Structure 1
Amino acid sequence: MSKHHAHAKWQGNLPEGKGEYLLKTSGLKGKLSFSSRFEDNKEASSPEELIAAAHASCFSMALSHGLSQEGFEPDKIETDAEVTLVKAGDSFEISEITLKTTGKVPGVKAEKFQEIANDAKENCPVSKALKAVKIKLEAKLL
């Protein structure tokens, strides 16, 4: 079992306050703000962007592993994750996540790549943790 830690701090009310996060292992720090979360202001990050980073990373690792397990050694896997935050009644919710991945994998056919990518989408630990959210996949073999 492994455990991973992050710290977040918020000061002030939601619309005018400010925050920051710290990833404890790497020391990576970032800022958080209302406008970066709800108004697409690019001055800081958001919890949804951190979820996107986690999901893209986890999926890429799972896809690489799945390909290797099937006898295909990937040269490169790249994944973008888009997390959509929408207003739902009086609150907000993550309505969907779209994973867009490309892979350079010698010897694998497009159909097999798609099959392994779909399995990675369903079974990477972050996807499993986010089962309440619709997860879409666009996978392309280079």
Structure 2
Amino acid sequence: MLEKSQVIDALIEKLRTELVAADHASRDAAAYATDEESRAESKWDTQGLEASYLAAGQAGQAKQLAEALSILQGQRSDLARPCSSVQRGALVQCKLGRATEWFFFAPSGGGETLTLDGTEVTVITADSPLAHRLLGLSAGGDFTLPNGAPGSVLAVL
């Protein structure tokens, strides 16, 4: 059985890893953009400009990851509390058609997929259409997906 603390730890670790990678990519792109080799040789040569846009984009991604990580770390104890209904911090097992899927309702990190002991957990946030369908439901609750397919909540931890 999945433990919520393991899910939170795995999400924090995954965001840390992605932050380090984004930070390195941003620094590499910025270094390249200001390198002598990327200096324009003609008015049509935009290699340096493109590298600076890439560096800015990578820096923006790193900033978003740092903010998401900070939110999760700051709310860790609240997120780890048991839940009886779907709300922020809930670890939810759902039946979607013939498949059974796990979701973690987090304040940030939406869209991340974690694999723990062979079980895949998808992180959702309040902005996701699925979260809107699940919010407030308890085990045994039924819902309809945005595409019209039925689903049911099997467990809320």
TM-score, length of structure 1 as denominator length = 0.30
Greater strand fraction, Structure 1 or Structure 2: 1
Which structure has the bigger radius of gyration? Answer: 2
Relative to its length, the structure with more helix (as a share) is: 2
Higher relative contact order (CA 8 A, sep 6+): 2
